[in-house]
Every structure is written in structure tokens, then in C-alpha cells.
Amino acid sequence: MRLQDKVALITGAGSGIGRETALLFAAQGAAVVAVDLNEASGEETVHAITNRGGRAGFVRADVSKAEDCRAMVDHAETTFGKLNVLFNNAGISHAEDDDAVNTTEAVWDLTFAVNVKGVFLGCKYGIPALRRAGGGSIINTASFVALLGAATPQLAYTASKGAVLALSRELATVHAREKIRVNALCPGPLNTELLMKYLDTEEKRQRRLVHIPMGRFGEAREMAYAALYLASDESSFVTGSEFTVDGGITAAYVTPE
């Protein structure tokens, strides 16, 4: 049990990476606070955990709102007594996200409110709880596009994930002596609803796959195992990292200095 007696809060736990991570963390001994804006999907995650004998609770929260983020952290401490792991995973990719000319201000603002402000607020209220627990691990979901840029225009999303990397690096530096580790998980292209709604034809999927050395899309569960490592004491000397799990796409396209 790699997370025995730990309490983990996971945002965006109703689907994709968040759900797979919640299930895996619970199987590894953690009590899980599953947070999502979609109440039905969040409750499904909790039921899946408790039906397997795990411990979990659901909190409906909009991570772009301070009071909701304060409440989710309060729930973790009130229900399970502490907080050891904070996985700021919730994020959006807007269908109308495009280049600088065509992306509207509303799409830009919404994307940053969820993807960047949501991480900031999670840390704002989560870090004091981690301090009270004597330290812990923060994992922030970024993306490989923050390192490479996206050939298909999605400017707000790409810029927001770059901001998550910068935020994570600074928090890691500031809080390292408090035994609080902060890392950014950078997934490559995944077989999840978030991406497949864009790659909705075989032609589109093959155009993306040609850039991935492993020749396939990643799975949400593979990201969950990466998060498990970052959450566990096995990664006790890992902080401030861009933890890239991308099938080799950045290795193939980043030019060595």
C-alpha cells in the first residue's frame, strides 16, 4: 500500500485522469476526497471506490471560486482529519479555443479561470492544510503542449498550461523547506474525451499519432500511475519537476541545446 494512511484530494475526479487516479489512490490505501463540478460523475467515482472497500467522499466545487476551494480542503480535514496529497487536476479545453486572432476574450478568461486560477486557489487553501499535516505532495496537471506548443491552435489552453508549469516551479522552491513538494504532471496526447472530441475522425487521429514515437495515445490510467509515484514517499527527493509522460513526443521534437 503505497499511500497507506494518507488523505488525497483530487479535483476533476469525475472522469479521465482524475477518476483513474482516485480509484488507484484508494486501492493504494488513501482516503480520497473526489472533487468535481459534475455531481453525478463525482458521486460515481466515490461509489466505485466505496464499493471496493475504499474510503472516499465527494465535494462539488467550481475550482475557479475561492469559497469552493476553501470548502473542499475543509472537507478533507473535517472528514478524514488531515490532507497529505493535493492533485490539482481539473481543467478545460474549450471548443472555441483558437489562435490569437480568433479566440474570444471570454474563452481566454474562462480557460485561465479554471486551468490557472483553479490551481492557484487549490494551493492557496491546500498548502496550509499540508503544513498542518507536516508536509505533503502537490501535483498540478499541466501538458506536453506547455513544452512544445500545439500545431493545432489552442492558444488559451497552451498558455494556461505554461502558467501551471511556472506556478509549480515557484511553489516548489518556496515551500521545499516545509517538506511540501510541488510537481507538474505533463501528459502527452491521451485517449480521453477531452482530446477525442477534437480528433473525431480516423484521419485526424492518425495525423496526431504520427508525431508520437510509441505510435499510440496514452491512457488515463497511465497518468494515474505517474501521479501515484509523485504522491508517494518514493518521490521524496522530487520537486519542481516537469514530469512528462508523453510516449516520447517531447523527446522527438525538442532540439538539444
Largest CA distance in the chain: 51
Q: Which amino acid is residue 187, in one-letter code?
A: P
Q: Quick one: pLDDT band at residue 11, thresholds 50, 70, 90?
A: very high
For 11, phi and psi rounded to 5 degrees?
-90, 155
Given a cut of 70, whether residue 254 has pLDDT beyond it is: no
Q: Which domains does the chain have, with CATH numbers?
A: 7-190+219-243 (3.40.50.720)
Cross-strand bridge partners of residue 34 = 10, 58
Mean of the per-residue pLDDT values of the chain:
94
C-alpha cell at 47: 461509489
Give 129-152 pLDDT, tens digit per residue: 999 999 999 999 999 999 987 777
Contact 188, 147 (CB under 8 A): no
CA 89 to chain CA centroid, nearest Å: 2
Q: What whole-number distance in Å separates Cα of residue 208 and Cα of residue 63? A: 30
Structure confidence at residue 120 (pLDDT): 98
Give 37-66 pLDDT, tens digit per residue: 999 999 999 999 999 999 999 999 999 999
Residue 157 bears catalytic tag = yes
Structure confidence at residue 255 (pLDDT): 47
Given a cut of 90, whether residue 195 has pLDDT beyond it is: no
Which residue is listed with cell 470548502?
71
Q: Which of 113, 200, 220 minimizes the C-alpha distance to 156?
A: 113
Contact 56, 49 (CB under 8 A): yes
Structure confidence at residue 209 (pLDDT): 83
Q: Quick one: pLDDT band at residue 198, thresholds 50, 70, 90?
A: low
Structure confidence at residue 190 (pLDDT): 87
Q: Mean per-residue pLDDT for 187-211?
A: 77
Q: Mean per-residue pLDDT for 27-32?
A: 98
Three-state secondary structure string covering the chain? CCCCCCEEEEECCCCHHHHHHHHHHHHCCCEEEEEECCHHHHHHHHHHHHCCCCEEEEEECCCCCHHHHHHHHHHHHHHHCCCCEEEECCCCCCCCCCCCCCCCHHHHHHHHHHHHHHHHHHHHHHHHHHHHCCCEEEEEECCCHHHHCCCCCCHHHHHHHHHHHHHHHHHHHHHHHHCEEEEEEEECCECCHHHHCCCCCHHHHHHHHCCCCCCCCECHHHHHHHHHHHHCHHHCCCCCCEEEECCCHHHHHCCCC
Give 60-111 pLDDT, tens digit per residue: 999 999 999 999 999 999 999 999 999 999 999 998 999 999 999 999 999 9
Spatial CB neighbours of 194, under 8 Å, sequence gap ≥ 6: 16, 93
**Regarding predicted confidence, which is higher, 195 or 106?**
106
Contact 91, 158 (CB under 8 A): no
**Exactly one of 125, 157, 198, 225 is catalytic; which is it?**
157
Q: Is the dihedral of CA 57, 58, 62, 68 positive or negative?
A: negative
Q: Quick one: pLDDT band at residue 257, thresholds 50, 70, 90?
A: very low
